[in-house]
Structure 1
Amino acid sequence: MAYLRKRTTGKLDKYGNPTTSYQVVWREPVRDEFGAPTGKTRQTSETFDTERKAKARLRKVEDALDGAKGIDPSSVKAKANTPLGTYARQYLNSLVGQMEPTTIEGYEKLYRTHIAPVFGSKPVAAITAADVDSFRARLFAPHERRSFVTRGKADPSRPASPAPVVHRSPKTVKHIVGTLRRILDVAVRDGALTSNPVLPGPRRTTKRRTATGTQPFAHHPLTANQVAAVHEWIAREKGNAVYALAVLFAAHTGVRAAELQGLQVGDVSLSDIPGTVGSIRIVRTMKRARPEGSEATAPLEWVEGTPKSDASTDRVVPLAPWLTDELRDHLTKVHPFAGKLRDTNGKRHHIPHAPLFPGRRSRSAFDWAKPVVADNLYDNYLQPACAALGLGSVRFHDLRHTFATMNLSAGEHYMQVSKWLGHSSFVLTLSTYADYITEDELVAPKVGRGTAGASTKIVPLKRRSAG
């Protein structure tokens, strides 16, 4: 219960009259070091110089006390002492049926990698805004880049190269802290917290740095000649014409990494006539994830999904005649399940659902039953090629940017390129690649000045027929 107490201070105002103060008094719960109620109360008061201010504060205090009535302090304390990991599991379970399993797997991996080591066993009531700010600052600190290599023993004759020091982008940090915020939202809804300690951090540039002392990160699209040089280097220096073609293919189709992994033999349409246009149809993605409900140590399995947006699903991307010819050679002379090659018994095997580009069984053998792993393709082939050729820091996703910039610079309409990319809107294409859209700012406008004495009759504009 709160009440208002009027007191004479003993001080005099400018007219010589004694001044009066107004004190709001109430009893509030005592909290432990975790911030949870202990079941005890203590008297608290605030003093104001006017009755109006005191009554306004009194109403707020009474509203807060009324809202707290009926709550069992012991149950609130129990919830406040609940580790963050418990609410993290509740949050992840709530996503089932709303998101794809691979997306949930990504959130769980993010939690286990970044959040659990810091907050996983900590009571939610003990997590303060200062803790979150410190956590956010550590995420922005430089760290060694993780490496993903293919299976097999390392070559002892090659010295191990030091891992490059990189920075997380503001977008990545925002994603991690945002996941922590959503987990703590579950605790707030459960009554364990009165408010979420994750507050907005300082605004940072969206540009990201890849190494200490380097320039801000930006998209790094390649030219057609640079892509050709990368293809040649992989085929020559790595002795892997199949993965060289995979990199070339990705740069000239704009497919995402998961879409490349999801492409199958049956998704390709090619003519038997050399020099003709072919096409691919994007209908699925493939990602590696752990089975739902499995342990964190369970092996990764291939999980089929759908492309990123409705515009990405079931889209058709044309293949240039020269790329069609090279892909035809791949299917007729190399791929064992495209129905063109004969096995030792003279039989042909046509398996439409076979991956277009294979994974690795070992360092010297392909696994044609499993898709190529884009991470390995980048770490072991694309990145070394770009480093050897002096092309700078190129991500696998930059091959998608390469496709967009090459076509826009060649004069393709941005709406057509947007459809090929599977962007959710044309605005996204414009905002991302506006600098690459060809335009002649000095071309003369095609509309004349007009003549005042000419006929003023209204002439309907011609429209294109609907057909």
Structure 2
Amino acid sequence: MAWITTVETNRRDDRGRPIKAYRVEWYEIARDADGQPIPRYPNRDDSPPKRLRRRETFRTPEAAQDRVNEINPKVARGQSPAAQRDAGNRPLSLYADAWLDGLAGQVKPRVLADYRANYRRYVSQPLGDRAVASITAADVRRWRAELMEPRPRPAHARPKGMTDAEAESVTLSRSTIKHAFETLRRILDVAVVDGAITANPCSSVPRTRANDPDAEPFTARPLSAAEIAAVADHIGTVQGHPIYGLVVLFAAFTGLRAGELAGLNVADLTLPQIPGSAGSVSVTRTRRAVRGGWETSTPKSAKSRRVVPIDGWLADDLRAYLANDHPHGNAVGADYDPNAPLFPGRFGRTDPLPEGFSRDEIEPVRSMVLDADARTSERTGEPDRRYIRPDPHAPAIRVAPSSGYKWSVPVNPAGIAKHYFAPALAALGLGHVRWHDLRHAFAVMSLSAGEHYMSVSKMLGHASFVTTLTVYADYITEGDGGKAAPLRRPTAGGLGTNIVPMRRPG
């Protein structure tokens, strides 16, 4: 056990008397790099372990006694207080690396990448080089307060060459601060388990709420069936991209998340070759666009792996799409590829086009209109082409042929939402609607039609029925519910016309 001895120092008090110090001493077993006891007599098989005498000096007897009370239980359990003191002197970055490396294979690569980014952006610079035992609750509070202060907009999000002084000041979202705090807390948990610190300083700091309690609560904007039909019709007939009109219908009447939609392959569809018969789609993977390509992963949770039924009218559209437009979708064709993406992407401005095609041949032909305040060229007298834009209401003269799509890569819902979905909403005067609101629309339409909330929860892939009850309580009928009739084909009503058929060039 540890004991205290009193020693005199070279320092003197105001009266010239030596100032005493209080030395805490104890013995502990010496261990090698592998943690094995080192024998006192290496040549003897029954040698007792070698013991090391440790010393620590304190200025007051109270501090020395506190250290004795801390050391004795550790020595009794065979632990090394000196080694744990050394562990506390190691930098936070060492425990961050240990925690992050230990997550490999335990979480999805995307989640691990987010944790690494949170540590690199918000934790590493102020705290990474600090000894982990020196980080206090006050340090954690100060660090979080600094995250909440306004800061210049990041360099990648402002014009090139703009300095921090010239940049607009922005604040981090509460969700970002919450994730940064959770990253630090979990790193310090590793230090606690390793004995470098006795308690996590984050534990005494109230956790940051993901949302501002004073802010207006967020409400989704689920579209009605008529609005969905109008948007899909506008994308197909006015914008000239009927395939992406079908993508909007598919997303709205299956409730798939954006990553799940991008992750679909041709083989994931089950469509009996009987007109009017219902089908189904299997959700087994997700994809998301990353720099240099696509990242394939598993669905959000175990219950997100599911089979979603497809009503007969939508199954008919999909059967026609696979037979007439998808180059790898016809099961009896020579080019059939079950692993091909179900819905295609588009050729970017710098992507090489298929052999024998020009940019004008793969793009739709649309009616153009001239802005009222358009400028004219002083040399030619013609309107400046920057003021000529596609008519947001006139039907396309020619829709994009199926060869104008990039069938080797999956559809990017974020790109569809930005370049097709949002312009259609604006042209129809429907206001701001997120792509994810199509998923909400599916849930609302299904529940309003009488579908039992447990069935809707399974089709949405919610991890718990409670999630469905919490989010969609206002749309669940008071009765027990039951199997509802299939959702009917939506009609645009006064918002638009029917979608034109897709055509493959001969």
Following superposition, the deviation at residue 118 of structure 1 comes to 4.5
Aligned position for 1:260: 261
Q: How many residues align?
A: 370
Aligned position for 1:44: 60
Q: Contact between 1:234 and 1:240, CA under 8 Å: does it hold in 2? A: yes
Aligned position for 2:406: 367
Following superposition, the deviation at residue 384 of structure 1 comes to 4.8
- Aligned partner of 1:44: which letter? T
- Aligned partner of 1:183: which letter? I
In 1: Cα distance, 2:174 partner to 2:150 partner? 11
Match of 2:189 among 177, 185, 191: 185
Q: Contact between 2:231 and 2:425, CA under 8 Å: does it hold in 1? A: yes
In 2: Cα distance, 1:410 partner to 1:164 partner? 48
Query: Measured at CA, do residues 226 and 122 of structure 1 come closer, stay the same or move farther in structure 2, by a change above 3 Å?
Result: farther
Secondary structure at the aligned position of 1:302 is classed as strand
Aligned position for 2:338: 352
Aligned position for 2:464: 425
Query: Measured at CA, do residues 82 and 359 of structure 1 come closer, stay the same or move farther in structure 2, by a change above 3 Å?
Result: farther
Secondary structure at the aligned position of 1:402 is classed as helix
Query: Measured at CA, do residues 203 and 190 of structure 1 come closer, stay the same or move farther in structure 2, by a change above 3 Å?
Result: closer
Following superposition, the deviation at residue 79 of structure 1 comes to 4.2
Which protein, 1 or 2, shows the higher relative CO under an 8 Å CA cutoff with sep ≥ 6? Answer: 2
Aligned position for 2:224: 223
CA deviation vs aligned residue, 1:137-180 (integer Å, no higher than 9, x gap):
4555678999x99xxxxxxxxxxxx999786354x543332122
Following superposition, the deviation at residue 307 of structure 1 comes to 2.1
In 1: Cα distance, 2:229 partner to 2:149 partner? 36
CA deviation vs aligned residue, 1:309-332 (integer Å, no higher than 9, x gap):
33222x221222332233233322
Q: Contact between 1:404 and 1:417, CA under 8 Å: does it hold in 2? A: yes
Following superposition, the deviation at residue 246 of structure 1 comes to 2.0
Following superposition, the deviation at residue 352 of structure 1 comes to 0.5
Q: Does 1:325 pair with 2:316?
A: yes
CA RMSD of aligned residues (A): 4.2
Q: Contact between 2:24 and 2:67, CA under 8 Å: does it hold in 1? A: no
Q: So what's the TM-score if we normalise by structure 2?
A: 0.61
Question: Which ranges in structure 2 are unaligned for 5 or more consecutive residues?
Answer: 5-20, 26-54, 158-166, 350-358, 360-403, 481-506
In 2: Cα distance, 1:193 partner to 1:179 partner? 17
In 2: Cα distance, 1:413 partner to 1:381 partner? 33
Following superposition, the deviation at residue 437 of structure 1 comes to 0.6
- Aligned partner of 2:339: which letter? H
**What does 1:72-83 correspond to in 2, within 5 Å?**
79-80=87-88, 82-83=90-91
Question: Which ranges in structure 1 are unaligned for 5 or more consecutive residues?
Answer: 4-24, 30-38, 48-56, 150-161, 290-298, 342-346, 442-467
Q: Contact between 1:139 and 1:168, CA under 8 Å: does it hold in 2? A: no
**What does 1:62-141 correspond to in 2, within 5 Å?**
62-66=68-72, 71=80, 79-80=87-88, 82-137=90-145
Q: So what's the TM-score if we normalise by structure 1?
A: 0.65
Match of 1:406 among 423, 434, 445: 445
Q: Contact between 2:85 and 2:196, CA under 8 Å: does it hold in 1? A: yes
Query: Measured at CA, do residues 395 and 139 of structure 1 come closer, stay the same or move farther in structure 2, by a change above 3 Å?
Result: farther
In 1: Cα distance, 2:447 partner to 2:151 partner? 36
- The structure carrying a bigger strand percent of its residues is 1
Query: Measured at CA, do residues 418 and 40 of structure 1 come closer, stay the same or move farther in structure 2, by a change above 3 Å?
Result: same
Query: Measured at CA, do residues 248 and 425 of structure 1 come closer, stay the same or move farther in structure 2, by a change above 3 Å?
Result: same
Following superposition, the deviation at residue 244 of structure 1 comes to 3.2
Following superposition, the deviation at residue 40 of structure 1 comes to 6.0
